[in-house]
Structure 1
Amino acid sequence: MPLAALFGLLIALLFISAFFSGSETGLMTLNRYRLNTRADKGERAARFARRMLKRPDRLIGTILLGNTFSNNLAAAIVAIITAKLFSNSTAVLITTAVMTLVMLIFSEVTPKTLAALHPERVALPSAYVYWYLRLPLFPFVWAVNLISNGILRLFGVTPEDAAQHSLSSEELRTVVLEAGAMIPQRHQKMLLSILDLEKATVEDIMVPRNEIIGIDITESREQIRETIIASQHTRLPVFDGSIDHLKGVVHLRRAVRLAAEDKLDTESLLALAAEPYYVPEGTPLNQQLLNFQNQKRRVGFVVDEYGDIQGLVTLEDILEEVVGEFTSDPATRIKNVYADADGSYRVSGSVTIRSLNRNLNWRLPTKGPKTINGLVLEQLEALPQTGAQVAIGGYTLEITDARANVIKSARIWPPKTGLAQRKARAA
């Protein structure tokens, strides 16, 4: 064969080797989520790539078979060219070193770097080539994979393991955070909130038992009517004397209809009340969301290990953990929390620490007590007195109203404003 033909074939083999090297990196570094999206939209190359990546052993076998063959053939051609041009062993060593450098630069490093930076631009066009190349090469690839998979099984590894890898919640959080501008900020916050549901329990968002508003059937008809008319809730618990004697839950629309027809009595209310649904304390919010869906319920009563009712949780409460409060006004984003001009916040003692941290970006401790009342009492280790102050993690908390051994309201200074307030008082 003429030297010109040998050099032309050598250059062609270098390009073929570069194609196999670059396409291997491109296919293996493809974003699987984006690939699935494009495949679902009907892109042919994306569908080919997705199907081949389901069996990476076969795909890699095809790539390495072509790459190894082109590299070995290129080395053989270099040896033939060297033998025709030179006759001493020194020339063979020099041409081998030069060829190694050329192949490393033009057939390995450059195409692999390009594919790593632009995987879709390299991988998707090459998917057409591999899709049709796999058919004639299948017998060779099958034989190679049979041997290699047998060796892998000796180490306890099977090709099916590639399809069994799943992302943990922390890995999913990293995926969402690193998506950056590809996911709108609003949607990003919602996705992160969904992942956070497993970290919170029903006690973190429940309405405490002393704040549960319901219908007490021991009250007079007029009192019950006023409770129904003044209610801002869709469903009201019905109880006998106290929430511990819960009878059921009645839909407000049905109760209003009874009041309008002047048929509001104990028997009618109890007939309309649905069986109460109880939720064990400690249930994660993500699990409770599924429980509400499976049980077709919207309201649940949180009970402790003794069966005593501790609070009430609703489907809307869990949804607000994902989408935020159903209001766009930051000043009214949290119930019973009011911002003052000096940077402090007036809060009710029943406000949950979790809601403050989420909406105000605070870092109050969440391990232990769930409300401001419980947090301050834990720090005081004594009965609350109006005017008492405690410092917790850089936050200054002052009791502004304490009655019946319960903190009704408090004022909180975040770290910076709390420091300024203490300095002003010292002056």
Structure 2
Amino acid sequence: MTVETILAFFAEYGMTMLTVMALLFCSAFFSGSETALTAASRARMHTLESNGDSRATIVTALITRRDRLIGALLIGNNLVNILASSLTTSLFLGLFGNSGVAIATLAMTVLLVIFSEVLPKSWAIAAPDRFALVVAPIVRPFVVVVGPLSSLVNGLVRRMLALFGVSLSTETSMLTAHEELRGAVDFLHREGSVIKADRDRLGGVLDLGELEVSDIMVHRTSMRAINADDPPEVAVRAVLESPYTRMPVWRGSVDNIIGVVHAKDLLRALAEPEVEPQNLDIVRITQKPWFVPDTTNLKDQLNAFLRRKAHFAIVVDEYGEVQGLVTLEDILEEIVGDISDEHDIEIQGVRQEADGSIVVDGNVPIRDLNRALDWNLPDDEATTIAGLVIHESRTIPEERQAFTFYGKRFLVMKRVKNRITRLRIRPADDLAASAADMAV
């Protein structure tokens, strides 16, 4: 092929080839913009907008009307793709005759897939926020011009889908704000950007509205209380020996709570002249008890604690029967984990054995076990690990009975009356160890 032939070829078809290349570039721009703008973080854009970035303001405005944005970009993308394919077909028909249609189809498929779809979208998804900030000022005028046509198309699509009983809502999100936050935190934890402790704290905040007071309260069977009819010195000794600063006071029965005594009030009373433990009136220094329903969610209870500037409440059921007590510290521990000070009594509720199994007291809350061991045992139907075993087995198990559920093997080690007090837990696939448990 001579130089004159090449020059003649480009003179005749050069403009068409340049036009096709320009259209491929436009197609790549539309594809990358669609990916970047739909994947851009609204929270990140809000932060940049607050810092005065005008491009972030444009991005926020565009993704607020996501259906209009996507429709406009798709219209632009399809227009340039169709035009590029038509020009290429016309060019190849002139060069190769009728076989040019097949050659043009193959060539454009390869070019569009590689340079107009995979490449720009891969680039955009690698850094969606940065990509979106760059393309937003260019995309906005295009959306303004093509937006009305996009809205018309979207309206037509909605009416067609309505004929099949499908309703599209632009206002209702499939996920709540809490679910989106929880999913983002879990994803970032798996990616290694958020450590487990931070994930647990953020999850604890999000869970407050889903948990009830009954899920975290100190049950009445474990509640320390003072009998108002006991000798005064017995009550004083009970308060001073207790690791808690507040204790309920009852008379007649535990369901009849008449007050709450604070250790500071007791010490102030004992510091008064002529007051000894033998003649102290414990009822006189008690504070009025505050009763709360066991169905109150933790978010409301936390707000109530803060509003009343209180730290302690008695939990009752719908019949007014005392179920236990809850403190402000109990709720805070759902967020930050266990809070211990030098006066707390350390209770070994969870113990790691040499064989890899976990020995757990029956009254250990499921949530605490999940948080400590990064498990996912359900806590919807039961609060404690013993309650979970009873719920799943549909019976009160005997000692040495074993059950397998949720990927774990539960062996009842000790039972006192109708209460499971100790369990051994190991992975369900540890068959040799499970067989050894059953043989004991």
Under TM normalisation by the shorter chain, which class is it?
0.7 to 0.9
Q: CA RMSD in A?
A: 4.6
- Residue 54 of structure 1, CA deviation: 0.2
- 1:312 pairs with 2:325: yes
Amino acid corresponding to residue 133 of structure 2 in structure 1: L
* Alignment correspondent of 2:337: 324
Amino acid corresponding to residue 77 of structure 2 in structure 1: N
CA contact (8 A) 1:21 1:112 kept: yes
**How many residue pairs are counted as aligned between the two chains?**
407
Match 1:122 to one of 127, 131, 144? 131
* Distance in 1 of aligned mates of 2:385 and 2:85: 74
Amino acid corresponding to residue 271 of structure 2 in structure 1: A
| Residues 1:241 and 1:141: Cα distance change in structure 2 (over 3 Å) | same
Q: Mapping of 1:13-412 within 5 angstroms?
A: 13-71=23-81, 73-75=83-85, 77-78=87-88, 88-91=97-100, 94-95=103-104, 98-131=107-140, 133-134=141-142, 138=144, 140-154=145-159, 155=161, 161=170, 164-167=173-176, 173-179=182-188, 180-195=191-206, 201-262=212-273, 264-265=280-281, 268-270=284-286, 273-280=287-294, 282-286=295-299, 288-293=301-306, 297-327=310-340, 335-337=347-349, 339=351, 351-352=364-365, 355-356=368-369, 358-359=371-372, 367=381, 370=384, 372=386, 379=396, 389-393=400-404, 394-399=409-414, 412=423
* Distance in 2 of aligned mates of 1:99 and 1:365: 53
Q: What secondary structure is seen at the aligned counterpart in 1 of 2:192?
A: helix
- Residue 296 of structure 1, CA deviation: 5.0
- Residue 219 of structure 1, CA deviation: 3.1
| Residues 1:99 and 1:399: Cα distance change in structure 2 (over 3 Å) | closer
CA contact (8 A) 1:152 1:158 kept: no
Amino acid corresponding to residue 293 of structure 2 in structure 1: V
CA contact (8 A) 1:345 1:411 kept: no
| Residues 1:414 and 1:20: Cα distance change in structure 2 (over 3 Å) | closer
* Alignment correspondent of 2:3: none
* Distance in 1 of aligned mates of 2:113 and 2:184: 33
* Distance in 1 of aligned mates of 2:354 and 2:101: 83
| Residues 1:121 and 1:229: Cα distance change in structure 2 (over 3 Å) | same
Amino acid corresponding to residue 66 of structure 2 in structure 1: P
- Residue 192 of structure 1, CA deviation: 3.4
Which blocks of at least 5 consecutive residues in structure 1 are unaligned? Answer: 382-387
- Residue 245 of structure 1, CA deviation: 1.7
Which blocks of at least 5 consecutive residues in structure 2 are unaligned? Answer: 1-10
Given the two structures, how large is their TM-score scaled by the length of structure 1?
0.74
| Residues 1:109 and 1:247: Cα distance change in structure 2 (over 3 Å) | same
| Residues 1:363 and 1:48: Cα distance change in structure 2 (over 3 Å) | closer
| Residues 1:315 and 1:104: Cα distance change in structure 2 (over 3 Å) | same
* Distance in 2 of aligned mates of 1:277 and 1:237: 11
- Residue 260 of structure 1, CA deviation: 1.9
- Residue 22 of structure 1, CA deviation: 1.7
Given the two structures, how large is their TM-score scaled by the length of structure 2?
0.72
- Residue 195 of structure 1, CA deviation: 4.8
* Distance in 1 of aligned mates of 2:102 and 2:436: 80
- Residue 284 of structure 1, CA deviation: 4.7
Q: What secondary structure is seen at the aligned counterpart in 2 of 1:243?
A: strand
CA contact (8 A) 2:40 2:132 kept: yes
Amino acid corresponding to residue 239 of structure 1 in structure 2: W
Match 1:8 to one of 2, 18, 38? 18
* Distance in 2 of aligned mates of 1:24 and 1:319: 43
Amino acid corresponding to residue 110 of structure 1 in structure 2: L
